[in-house]
Amino acid sequence: MPTALITGATAGIGAAFARRLARDGLDLVLVARDTDRLTASAAELHGRFGVRTEVLQADLATDEGIERVEKRLEEGVDLLVNNAGFGNQGTFLNVPVEDELRMLKVHCEAVLRLTYAALPGMRRRGKGGIINVASVAAFLTRGTYGASKAWVVSFTEALAQEISEPNVQAMALCPGLVRTEFHERAKMDVSGTPDLLWLDADAVVNTALTDLRRGRAVSVPDPRYKAIVGAAKLIPKGLIGRISAKTARRYD
């Protein structure tokens, strides 16, 4: 039975991936920090879909947590979803450098190391996929979060070019605003954001899996955000930075 490993699997986009992949019949390895939520999610998915669900508690902001997931990936999986991530409260210089480094650890180092652990087995078997969850913020000039997600996109695009096996794919998923716990955890005030900019996590996942099958290196779900990304590529970066700074999400 094919197996998918999902980081940040208990909420938001990660949980949506878990539901969709379980519905499709894949066994799951669920990775997150909260053991209780992991156990509850695994039990629910097993009960609903009858798939095997494995729980792996790991904090990807630590070497120990990354190493734990690396070891499991070296045993072999068919799909890796690097979804774990978070945002910091405040702008650069108002955020402790330790918190910024934690973000880079999770968004960049963990993505690199887990990809490195999973990809050799996929290439040997001649099949497999890696989805690295980035953000539309990767195409805008906005703080450490956007910079880290820009790294994810660049890394994944380069990786997709290097993989020679036709049935092994790597893709960066770049959603816009999705209704998850992300903004609440970062204490971001998004109350003024228009409803039309919000995406549904299940719809984002459906688009991502379709784009992965099509062999796309970058997936931007929804025509609205495709238009935003397209416009961002045409506007000078200095102007994008000024617009982004004026329209940035507020913090409590």
Catalytic residues: 145
CA angle in degrees (0–180, nearest 5) for 97-148-16: 115
**Max CA distance (Å), the chain:** 52
> Given CA atoms 41, 135, 110, 1 in this order, what sign does their dihedral have?
positive
Q: Give 150-195 as a DSSP string.
A: HHHHHHHHHHHHH---TTEEEEEE---EE-SSHHHHTTEE-TTS-G
Using an 8 Å Cβ cutoff, are 77 and 117 in contact? no
Using a 10 angstrom Cβ sphere, with 0-12 exposed, 13-18 middle and 19 or more buried, the burial of residue 193 is middle
Q: What is the number of other CB atoms lying within 10 angstroms of the CB of residue 150?
A: 19
Report the SS3 class of residue 92.
Answer: coil
Closest CA to 224 of 246, 245, 203: 203
Cβ neighbours of residue 203 closer than 8 Å, sequence gap 6 or more:
221, 222
